[in-house]
């Protein structure tokens, strides 16, 4: 791993919080992700399943965490199974976790090698009346590929058909929606690395440069700051490309007079950052570009003030839609007739702002969270309004990561990144 060690008290706290919500005489199982093959002997770089990481801090393949708060054997209250390391593995793949290192990183006292799993798990299941399975219930999840977790669930149901089945997802969604101060520090570090990426890329942005050249400069800055890289596939979209919401080709040449939209964020210790900024390729916005940019900025500033404890997220999105409608009227993209005759299921503003205004962020870019419950202090959201005008070759989206506080406006973790037009132009023309 590239990141510095994380205090194990975070993972101890997370496990304790989860176990407090488990039914009596149950256990819960969490599996690492697979290492996914490409072809021949090539694989996709390993990415740990965020839930087992959240509960243990283990960032290694073929790991299993079992939680059983009412275990007859107190040692088995928390059990971690790891792939056994040896000299051969150390030579070919690098050192894996030893039992001692695993305890240091996780705080789990009972650490066994993976080949002992069937025997010990069978003993634990003999005591248990129910089991928590960790299925992917994220609203945006694509569950076509069978995961290591999925295979375990199928096998377990066949072997232990009499056990009551429970879901881990509702508990984890609630827990992960609010961030511990240690998590906030890790996310702030990711945001700070992202800011360094912005500073670097502005040195290279000019007419004639290619989008992928800019992407390469950002990646360079991320890696040299102990990030694995992008928290999600970056969008480096100049001109009309910015009107494609998930444009990821990043292969066009930046033209004089265009605005470039850059939606990217660094990961750090598996935690994500997520920002979007728009810059004039030649260092100066046109009057029309300023008009549209400020319309988006006005919506963003007003929307942020709604991210406070007690706000209901569906109502928040409705209010942001009203804010956007007002701005679109002011800049001439909508008229009163458009609004009067709009379809309530697809309001008039959706022609130019068709996506959501905010999402949870944390271990996942689109993090787990309870979208039907009121916002609480300690939650972290993006705020990302946008206006997209293909016929003007112009797309503007502005996005920051915000911590909800007990009182007052949320704290902006991206505050060091230029946002106002004057600051952007001054920064670009002083380089």
Which helix (H) or strand (E) element contains residue 383?
strand 380-383
Active-site residue identified among 256, 315, 355, 423? 355
Q: Is 391 a catalytic residue?
A: no
Dist CA 77 CA 68 (whole Å): 5
Active-site residue identified among 49, 105, 176, 359? 359
Active-site residue identified among 61, 274, 304, 367? 274
Q: Is 366 a catalytic residue?
A: yes
Tokens of 63: 């790991």
Dist CA 398 CA 384 (whole Å): 5
Tokens of 426: 């001054």
User: Using the 8-state DSSP alphabet, how is residue 81 labeled?
Assistant: E
Which helix (H) or strand (E) element contains residue 179?
none
Kind of pairing, strands 64-67 and 78-82? antiparallel
Q: Is 51 a catalytic residue?
A: no
Q: Is 397 a catalytic residue?
A: yes
Dist CA 362 CA 214 (whole Å): 26
Q: Is 183 a catalytic residue?
A: no
Active-site residue identified among 246, 256, 315, 335? 246
Q: Is 399 a catalytic residue?
A: yes
Dist CA 336 CA 12 (whole Å): 56
Dist CA 292 CA 392 (whole Å): 11
Helix, strand, coil distribution of the chain in percent, nearest 5: 40, 15, 45
Dist CA 132 CA 154 (whole Å): 13
Tokens of 116: 């002992």
Dist CA 109 CA 104 (whole Å): 9
Active-site residue identified among 293, 349, 352, 388? 388
Q: Is 406 a catalytic residue?
A: no
Q: Is 355 a catalytic residue?
A: yes
Q: Is the Cβ–Cβ distance between 113 and 133 less than 8 Å? A: no
Dist CA 56 CA 52 (whole Å): 6
Dist CA 211 CA 355 (whole Å): 24
Active-site residue identified among 59, 211, 263, 400? 263
- What SS3 state is found at 125? helix
Active-site residue identified among 217, 399, 400, 401? 399
Active-site residue identified among 51, 149, 221, 384? 384
Q: Is 163 a catalytic residue?
A: no
Q: At what angle do helices 181-202 and 211-223 cross, to 10 degrees?
A: 140
Radius of gyration of the chain measured on its C-alpha atoms? 24
Dist CA 222 CA 229 (whole Å): 6
Active-site residue identified among 76, 105, 277, 397? 397
Active-site residue identified among 41, 87, 144, 345? 41
Dist CA 7 CA 419 (whole Å): 34
Any idea which residues carry the catalytic annotation?
41, 246, 263, 274, 355, 359, 366, 384, 388, 397, 399
């Amino acid at each position: 791993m590239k990141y510095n060690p994380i205090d194990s008290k975070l993972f101890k706290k997370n496990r304790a919080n989860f176990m407090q919500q488990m039914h009596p005489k149950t256990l819960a199982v969490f599996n690492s992700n697979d290492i996914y093959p490409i072809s021949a002997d090539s694989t996709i770089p390993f990415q740990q399943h965020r839930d087992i990481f959240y509960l243990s801090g283990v960032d290694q393949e073929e790991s299993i965490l079992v939680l059983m708060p009412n275990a007859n054997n107190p040692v088995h209250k928390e059990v971690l199974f790891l792939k056994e390391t040896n000299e051969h593995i150390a030579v070919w793949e690098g050192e894996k976790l030893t039992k001692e290192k695993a305890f240091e990183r996780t705080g789990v006292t009972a650490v066994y090698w993976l080949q002992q799993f069937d025997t010990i798990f069978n003993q634990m299941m003999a005591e248990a009346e129910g089991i928590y399975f960790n299925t992917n219930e994220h609203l945006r999840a694509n569950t076509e590929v069978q995961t290591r977790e999925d295979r375990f669930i199928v096998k377990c149901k066949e072997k232990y058909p009499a056990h009551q089945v429970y879901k881990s997802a509702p508990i984890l969604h609630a827990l992960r929606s609010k961030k511990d101060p240690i998590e906030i520090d890790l996310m702030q570090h990711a945001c700070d690395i992202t800011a360094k990426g912005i500073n670097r890329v502005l040195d290279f942005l000019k007419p004639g440069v290619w989008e992928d050249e800019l992407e390469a400069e950002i990646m360079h800055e991320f890696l040299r700051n102990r990030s694995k890289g992008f928290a999600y596939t970056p969008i480096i979209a100049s001109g009309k490309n910015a009107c494609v919401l998930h444009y990821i080709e990043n292969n066009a040449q930046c033209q004089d007079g265009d605005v470039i939209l850059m939606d990217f964020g660094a990961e750090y210790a598996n935690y994500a950052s997520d920002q979007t900024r728009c810059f004039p390729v030649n260092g100066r916005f046109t009057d029309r570009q300023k008009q549209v940019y400020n319309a988006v900025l006005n919506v963003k500033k007003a929307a942020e003030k709604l991210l406070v404890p007690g706000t209901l997220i569906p109502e928040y999105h409705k209010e942001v839609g009203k804010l956007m409608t007002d701005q679109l009227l002011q800049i001439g993209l909508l008229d009163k007739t458009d609004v009067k005759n709009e379809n309530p299921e697809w309001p008039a503003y959706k022609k130019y702002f068709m996506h959501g205004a905010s999402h949870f962020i944390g271990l996942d870019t689109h993090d787990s969270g309870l979208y039907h419950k009121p916002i609480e202090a300690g939650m972290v959201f993006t705020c990302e309004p946008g206006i997209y005008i293909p016929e003007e070759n112009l797309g503007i989206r502005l996005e920051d990561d915000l911590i909800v506080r007990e009182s007052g406006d949320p704290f902006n973790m991206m505050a060091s990144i230029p946002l106002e037009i004057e600051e952007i132009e001054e920064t670009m023309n002083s380089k």
